């Protein structure tokens, strides 16, 4: 019997053997739902909120695509600087590279998670990057 360890929200761990029956799993997760309602409770109707994000709609996707055009253009200098920094220190992750990645992460953090993987949002980001490369070239 193999052991499967899972980390809980409070930092502790729980062992759930792989051959645990469905009834036993329901009891375990029911108990976890009452102990951690914000993390497990929504699945069992014990409070807490679902962590899933809504799907959005076509208008939101279109808006996000338009909003991503300047975001894509602004990311070009960051990507260029990251490339130059990586070439200058190929075997070392410098503080400058970390700060540039942090700036790019901050820039992309403005993308609504409902639309981050949608085609129109990515199209806007790509158009902005293409414009940035054309203007910078």
| pLDDT surpassing 70 at residue 133 | yes
| pLDDT of the residue at 65 | 92
Mind listing the pLDDT tens digit for each residue in 36-55? 776 665 555 555 444 445 67
| pLDDT surpassing 80 at residue 126 | yes
Euclidean distance between the first and the last CA atom of the chain, given in angstroms as a whole number: 61
What does the alpha-carbon distance between residue 121 and residue 112 come to, in Å, rounded to a whole number?
A: 9
Mean pLDDT of 109-137: 89
| SS3 letters across 31-68 | HHHHHCCCCCHHHHCCCCCCCCCCCCCHHHHHHHHHHH
Mean pLDDT of 12-35: 80
Mean pLDDT of 104-108: 91
Q: Are 29 and 16 in contact (CB under 8 A)?
A: no
């Amino acid at each position: 019997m193999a052991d499967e360890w899972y980390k809980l929200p409070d930092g502790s761990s729980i062992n759930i053997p792989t051959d645990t029956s469905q009834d036993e799993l329901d009891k375990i997760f029911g108990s976890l739902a009452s102990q951690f309602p914000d993390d497990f409770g929504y699945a069992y109707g014990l409070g807490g909120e679902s962590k899933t994000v809504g799907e959005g709609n076509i208008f939101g996707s279109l808006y996000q695509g338009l909003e991503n055009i300047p975001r894509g253009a602004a990311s070009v200098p960051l990507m260029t600087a990251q490339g130059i920094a990586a070439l200058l220190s190929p075997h070392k992750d410098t503080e400058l590279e970390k700060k540039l990645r942090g700036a790019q992460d901050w820039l992309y953090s403005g993308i609504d998670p409902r639309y981050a993987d949608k085609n129109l949002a990515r199209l806007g980001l790509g158009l902005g990057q293409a414009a940035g490369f054309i203007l910078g070239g």
